Structure 1
Amino acid sequence: MFRSAKLCLAALLLAAGPAAAQQPDSTPREQLTGAKAAIDRVEAALAQPSLSQDALQQQRSNLEPARSALVALLASVIGPRDASKQRLEKLGPPPKPGEPPESAEVTAARDRENTLFGDLDGVAKEAQLQIVRIDQLNNTIVERLRTDFARQIFQRSASILDPFFWATVASDLPQAVANLTQALSQIWVSFRANAGPGPIGIAVLIVLAGALACRFLRGRAVRLRNRLAARQSASRRFTATLDALLDIVHAVLGWPMAALVPLVALKVAELVPEQLLVDFGVPIVMALLVPAVFDATAVGVMAVGRPNLRLLPLSDWAVDQIHRRMRWIAFIIGADILLPSLGKVTYAPVSLTVASTGLFSVLFCIVGAELLLRLRDAPTTTESGEPIPGAQESNKLDILRPLTWLVIAAAVAGLLSGYIALANFIVILMLAALFVAALAYILMTLVDAVLTDRLATDESLGRAIASALGVSPRNVAFAATLFSGVLRLLILIAAVTTFVVPLGSYSIDFASVMEHAFFGFQVGEITISISSILLAITLFSVVMIATTLVRGWIRNTLLPRTTLDASLQNSIATMIGYTGVILASAVGLFQIGLNLQNFAIVAGALSVGIGFGLQSIVSNFVSGLILLAERPIRVGDIIAVAGEEGFVRRISVRATEIETYDRATLIIPNSQLITGSVKNWVYGNTWSRVRVSIDVGYDADVDAVRAAMLSAAEDDPRILPTPPPRVFLSKLGSAALEFELFAVVTSVETLPAVKSDLHLRILKNFRAKGIRVAAQLPAAPAPVVVSLDEALGAVGAARLRAEAAEKPG
């Protein structure tokens, strides 16, 4: 589990020495030859069937520089090769027999380009072939590592209760102690041989400097934690997670650094050989570092001693019980790292390694079972009957109890059946899961607290950042929330991938995969690389930001100083924005590697899509461009379309937004505005005609009616004097005379108000002159509908009555 950490620490100790000399530049063919030689050596080494895991890892490490060199070589060759190919295409093929001969200069140039293209193309193809060889060898190494790992995990030994096994351990113990004593004496002899005033002084200075630096940094961490705890305005989640991270830093700067600094001092002063420092120093530092970080992470996530910063639903009693057992588990982890590592270095008998591994697994099972049994009887109320804070909510974490019991049961079964390595692996896997989950929880909560709680929720901070960036606070909140989600997803992915290490794939595998994905891998004739994609996104973002700034300056600063109307200014700014989007997209696609031929393929695919279902989208897009260019409808116009009427607020390439008089937003596709009938009230000017119709009785004075209506129109300043208002007798009705007033107003927006005011003034003038508005005519009676039988019966009855009337007496 801790193999990658040990390798990193060993690299840190070795990095204190002089740096390796840089190799001089060489030709592409020489670089290719050197990479092939390295691959051949690795391939020859892998032919040996009995390589250890460390040897396999070393061969894997030897392949990585060769692959990186080949990828760089391939990238440096492809560009000149393609340029040479283009020059050959410009020169064209040699003339055929019977055609006019070409000049000697052209022939010589073609020969040179053919030679250059052949060399570069050969190097590129050979480099691709060697990269494929490296990938195949990597797969072979990974499979052998996984096979060895599985064989070690499922290797069966004696049961933990077998007395003969412990008798063997007791007999092998003196030999292990003797080997360790001999190794320590070798270190002491080497130290005495190299000791002197100079080296000792250098080592003492390094230790003092490291101790002072660690003490200063630990003090700063403690002061920062106290300052955060004293701040009341800070977010609780932000303070809690940052306090947990500072506690981890404080723990790392303690005993682990106290062990690492002397080792670095011994290395720099050359008092002890490097290999001895790596063999004995790395296990000691790791045995202190891993438990310290494990314990500090547990303290931070449970907020031991700081209940006001606790994020997990746990009571103080539960936190105290769990923390005590976590201290013991951290001690067990440290011993489990140190003793097997020292046994491997001192060539201790295998029985001792198996015994130490099994013993530590037993101790973990005991501590874990005792903790679960104690938590089962956790109090939920105080002696006075009041509920304990966090005790009721702790049932959210109850899912961990059956999982822990399951792990303990599996480990006990492995120990009793002789699969001690498997039992230890199960225990370490659970502890690693708890540690990674806790650390990921802290980091994800910190990211969410900083971006969501601070940027997206704090209005003052959001407005300040929005003002500095020149965007709206809503955009800042949206970007912060989106960025928070992306970062938390990356943290979650990183946490999940760490479990690849104990499951048989090593950290170097993950690093290699990430490197290949970052620098590119071939899929057919297309090279996919995260670096190119990230660079393309960066270029696209830069061009879009530049376009936004330019468009904003043109719209807000330049265009308002011209004589152009507002709608034309909006059209210019919109077209600049679309041009910037097209330019940014082209730059990003070219960076990814799409050339004109790929664009032709994409265009062909789009044409098929347009033929099958994108007609309306393309039609709206083209119609939007026509509206922006011809401007038959402009922003601010009052139009009537699709049975609705309102103001044009925005014209985009897909649709036009119309705000109705009811303050509703009507979205009309642009194709309807181009192909359909649209009434534009203000296309030529903002004038509009108002029409008022009045019915008066036949007994009214028509001249007085005309004068009253004209007076009402002339008193309104919103009505234009030219053309002047006019009154017409439009109809001689059956019961009334119909008069109509026509006038022209300055703005169509005032039409409803002008019409209402005219009605009021006309009614007032009529009442002043005694003019009566015609009353509404009575409604005609509804026709009576009878059936044919009823009609015939009525006719018969009438006839009988007539005959009876004609008879005498």
Structure 2
Amino acid sequence: MTIRRIWLALGRPAIFWAVAGAFLVTAAALGNAARAESSAPPEPPSLESIKSSLDEIEAGVDREDVTAEMLAGFRQTLNATTDSLRGKIEDLEPRANELHQRLDQLGPAPAKDAPPESADVANERADLTKQFSEVDGDLKQARVLSLRAEQLSDRVSQRRHALYAQELFARSPSVLNPSFWMDTLRAFPIELRAEHAVVQTWLSERGDGLRWTAGLLIVAAIIALAIGLSRWWFPRLIAHPTDTRSAKAWVALWVFIWYAARTPLAAAAALLAFDALDLLTSRVEEIAEGLVAGIAAASFSYGVARGLFAPREPQRRLLQEDDRTALCFHNHLVWSARALGVLVVSQVVHKTLFAPLIITVATNALFAAITAGFLTHLVIRLRQIKKDRGEALVAAAWAHPVGLLVAVFIALALIAGYAGLAAFVALRVIVAAAAIGALYLLLVITQTLFSTIGEQTAKGQTLAADLGISAGTLGFGAAVLSAAIRVILILASFLVIIGPWEVSTADLFDTVRNIPFGFKIGEIHVSFEAVFTAVLVLFLLLIVTRIVQRWLETELLPRTKLEPSLQLSIVTIFGYVGAITAIGLALSGLGFDLQKVALIAGALSVGIGFGLQSVVSNFVCGLILLTERPIRVGDSIVVKGEEGWVRRVRVRATEIETFDRASVIIPNSEFITGVVKNWTRANTLGRIVIKVGVAYDSDPVQVREILLDIASAHPQIVQSPPPGVFLLEFGEGALEFELRCVVADVEKALSVRSDLNYAIIKRFREADIEIPHQQRELRWRAEEPDKDRTGPFSWSFRPSGDGGESRKL
């Protein structure tokens, strides 16, 4: 008990100081190694040596007896050559451009009949011309060699794939043939002697006790750190309630990451420490790298199994499976992946020690047979679970038939003598199971992540407020980003599962390494780095344009004396100029000549003129409206029978708001080619006309004075020009007067007209002035009955002498 208490009290500090000391030793060793490497940088090869190396590789690729190891060596040489040529091209291009610009500044040499130039200028031109010719020649040769290296790299890859296909479908002895296993046992001592020789050489060449002590201390510290994190830190990390699917998904993700990365990172750290301390020979280092790769393969599948199935923690299980089914899938995936890890390590050992070919074939056969056994056992266990439960299993619907078919195929391939094909199928099955499991987990995490920042959630609204955008915009961007991530995950899993037959670590590293160098479109070389830079420049310039627009719209222009419509025009035109500038700079960054782009745009304008004539017409008319400003925001206009206020002037169309509060979108071409009545173009004044009739016995002068008094008393009626009253005509039943006046705000003309009408009625009644209305008179008259009528009376209705009417029926 005393020892246990002392350990509990000192265990964690001891681990901490051990880890700290290990990291200090590792850092010192790595620093010394880095300084030793940087003290003597290798000299880059010349173009002639590179050309000779490419000639040797081209001759070797076409040989009939070329092997996969030779092709792998060719590929490494080509990778180094390509890197060297790219460095030379990057160094020569600026020098060539600089010399060319200096020659352009000097200009061509004068003609024979022209006055001679100074000797200094002539000597400078000759010197620059010579330098430019040398640099340009080296640059062209480097570009040609770089293209040749790329072509040879493609040929090497094609030849490697062809050799791998031949090995894959090569016949070997059947696993049922006893002589095959006897030959394997007889060849096995050869590899053991090679292993013994490698170990003896390793210990004799790297037998420094001090460095071994430091290396073992570092390994012990790494193991202690991994154990300490696994026991104390990681359980606290995932100690959260898992009552929701979102919580289960996050816990499953952390479990997957931890178990997939813990052991490989520890092994890689130990390998780096041993390599920094110079404790590994070349062959031992190759075997150690293979060991790390095997551990990584087994750990990845283990992390997927623990994250998805959680055999000992059903409360956080992400898949809806019972304990027995989850445990069954977990165990079979873990042990199959461990078999794959052993295969990876074994193949690296066989390759490093130059083991006999029959041992490699036997290893492949054993791996395939073990995988087929796991699949068969999985099918039997699922059938037993289904029988015990008495109902169908969700997972068994696809796992049972697929596992059975693959197991039968592998068994038949082994019996027929296709051990390579059987091992390949077994490998793809395990990779597919791990990749699909990881894909499912990452898809669930993606859905969970973006569902928490939706426009309807509190986190989404808070994030939108922090970013200064609307919640709807954030939701749309989150939906697009979520879809893009899911597509990328699915494509990556698809490529991993059904990728090329022969994908080695070197191929993968070469692909990743060549990503920044891009591809070609015609004569233009487009790199992914240039694409990323162009997109970044476009995005940043658009953001800057938007910020400056907002500043102009809200800060600067409102403080000037410019009209609001002119302010809007300035802001809009600045936005278009900024967008065009951003697009031009992005295209220039990609290597596109803007003059050629302008020529292409000019050629396309012909087709655009026919196909999108109305759109282009509205666009041009929109620019005219923004520059000439025949209408402005806030104007009261009448166009195409629609009357209202101008609310927005855009490039394609203009929005007006009618007096009914309805928005009407009118194409801009209507404002340029049609007739537009603008009530407020020069000012807001507007004239109103009110007609009124009075009885013939009224005093016209009194009527005139009353109307002028009413108009002059209204606050919205301007006095310059003054109101006017006119006696226009003598009507049938009244004297026809007309009151004409100008209102200060034409938008209030209707209310002013109503006010004047009310005032006229009131004042006329006070002055006993009658406003006559049309009268009708109905008369009865007896007549002789018509011949065609049977009744004794008839009706008549006609106008009377005093303006009435009489009607006859």
TM-score, normalised by the number of residues in structure 2: 0.80
In the aligned structure 1, how far is the partner of 2:387 from the partner of 2:770?
Answer: 89
Name structure 1 gaps, 5 residues minimum.
1-13, 781-794, 799-809
In the aligned structure 2, how far is the partner of 1:636 from the partner of 1:374?
Answer: 79
**Partner-residue secondary structure (3-state), 2:525:** strand
Q: Tell me how large the CA RMSD over aligned residues is.
A: 4.2
**Structure-2 change in CA distance of 1:333 and 1:567 (3 Å):** same
**Partner-residue secondary structure (3-state), 1:658:** strand
Match status 1:568 vs 2:566: yes
In the aligned structure 1, how far is the partner of 2:154 from the partner of 2:367?
Answer: 34
Tell me the CA shift for residue 422 of structure 1: 0.8
What does residue 487 of structure 1 align with? 485
**Partner-residue secondary structure (3-state), 1:230:** coil
8 Å contact from structure 1 (residues 169, 352) kept in 2: no
What does residue 7 of structure 1 align with? none
Partner AA of 2:339 in structure 1: I
Q: Map residues 200-279 of structure 1 onto 2, 5 A cutoff.
A: 200-218=212-230, 222-223=234-235, 225-227=237-239, 229-230=240-241, 236-237=245-246, 239-252=247-260, 254-256=262-264, 263-264=271-272, 266-271=274-279, 273-279=281-287
Tell me the CA shift for residue 556 of structure 1: 1.2
Determine what percentage of the aligned residue pairs are the same residue.
Answer: 32
**Partner-residue secondary structure (3-state), 1:594:** coil
**Structure-2 change in CA distance of 1:199 and 1:418 (3 Å):** same
Match status 1:656 vs 2:654: yes
8 Å contact from structure 1 (residues 16, 264) kept in 2: no
In the aligned structure 2, how far is the partner of 1:305 from the partner of 1:704?
Answer: 107
**Structure-2 change in CA distance of 1:196 and 1:141 (3 Å):** closer
Tell me the CA shift for residue 242 of structure 1: 3.7
**Partner-residue secondary structure (3-state), 2:33:** coil
**Structure-2 change in CA distance of 1:110 and 1:16 (3 Å):** closer
Partner AA of 2:531 in structure 1: I
8 Å contact from structure 1 (residues 536, 592) kept in 2: yes
What does residue 425 of structure 1 align with? 424
In the aligned structure 1, how far is the partner of 2:507 from the partner of 2:353?
Answer: 29
In the aligned structure 2, how far is the partner of 1:635 from the partner of 1:599?
Answer: 36
**Structure-2 change in CA distance of 1:711 and 1:440 (3 Å):** farther
What does residue 789 of structure 1 align with? none
Partner AA of 1:331 in structure 2: R
What does residue 672 of structure 1 align with? 670
Partner AA of 2:299 in structure 1: A
8 Å contact from structure 1 (residues 218, 253) kept in 2: no
What does residue 440 of structure 1 align with? 439
In the aligned structure 1, how far is the partner of 2:686 from the partner of 2:589?
Answer: 56
What does residue 409 of structure 2 align with? 410
What does residue 529 of structure 1 align with? 527
What does residue 793 of structure 2 align with? none
8 Å contact from structure 1 (residues 176, 343) kept in 2: no
**Partner-residue secondary structure (3-state), 1:689:** strand
**Partner-residue secondary structure (3-state), 1:18:** helix
Q: Map residues 80-119 of structure 1 onto 2, 5 A cutoff.
A: 80-119=95-134
Partner AA of 2:332 in structure 1: R
What does residue 805 of structure 1 align with? none
8 Å contact from structure 1 (residues 411, 426) kept in 2: yes
**Partner-residue secondary structure (3-state), 1:666:** strand
In the aligned structure 1, how far is the partner of 2:727 from the partner of 2:313?
Answer: 92
Tell me the CA shift for residue 464 of structure 1: 4.3
8 Å contact from structure 2 (residues 170, 420) kept in 1: yes
In the aligned structure 2, how far is the partner of 1:344 from the partner of 1:684?
Answer: 91
Q: Map residues 68-467 of structure 1 onto 2, 5 A cutoff.
A: 68-160=83-175, 162=176, 165-170=177-182, 172-173=184-185, 176=188, 179-180=191-192, 183-184=195-196, 187=199, 190-191=202-203, 194-195=206-207, 197-218=209-230, 222-223=234-235, 225-227=237-239, 229-230=240-241, 236-237=245-246, 239-252=247-260, 254-256=262-264, 263-264=271-272, 266-271=274-279, 273-279=281-287, 281-302=288-309, 304=311, 312=319, 314=321, 318-345=325-352, 350-372=357-379, 375=382, 394=394, 398=397, 402-450=401-449, 452-457=450-455, 460-467=458-465
What does residue 9 of structure 1 align with? none
In the aligned structure 2, how far is the partner of 1:256 from the partner of 1:610?
Answer: 59
* Per-residue CA distance 1:188-214 (angstroms, 9 max, x = gap): 684488556523420232023212332
* Per-residue CA distance 1:668-706 (angstroms, 9 max, x = gap): 332321222111121122233344456677788878987
Q: Map residues 9-48 of structure 1 onto 2, 5 A cutoff.
A: 18-19=33-34, 20-21=37-38, 31-43=46-58, 45-46=60-61, 48=63
Question: How many residues get paired?
Answer: 752
8 Å contact from structure 2 (residues 30, 276) kept in 1: no
Partner AA of 2:583 in structure 1: S
8 Å contact from structure 2 (residues 622, 668) kept in 1: yes
Higher relative contact order (CA 8 A, sep 6+): 1
In the aligned structure 2, how far is the partner of 1:308 from the partner of 1:637?
Answer: 67
Tell me the CA shift for residue 255 of structure 1: 4.7
In the aligned structure 2, how far is the partner of 1:323 from the partner of 1:402?
Answer: 18
In the aligned structure 2, how far is the partner of 1:47 from the partner of 1:17?
Answer: 44
In the aligned structure 2, how far is the partner of 1:175 from the partner of 1:144?
Answer: 29
**Structure-2 change in CA distance of 1:738 and 1:520 (3 Å):** same
In the aligned structure 1, how far is the partner of 2:376 from the partner of 2:723?
Answer: 100
In the aligned structure 2, how far is the partner of 1:26 from the partner of 1:756?
Answer: 97
In the aligned structure 1, how far is the partner of 2:253 from the partner of 2:606?
Answer: 56
Partner AA of 2:257 in structure 1: V
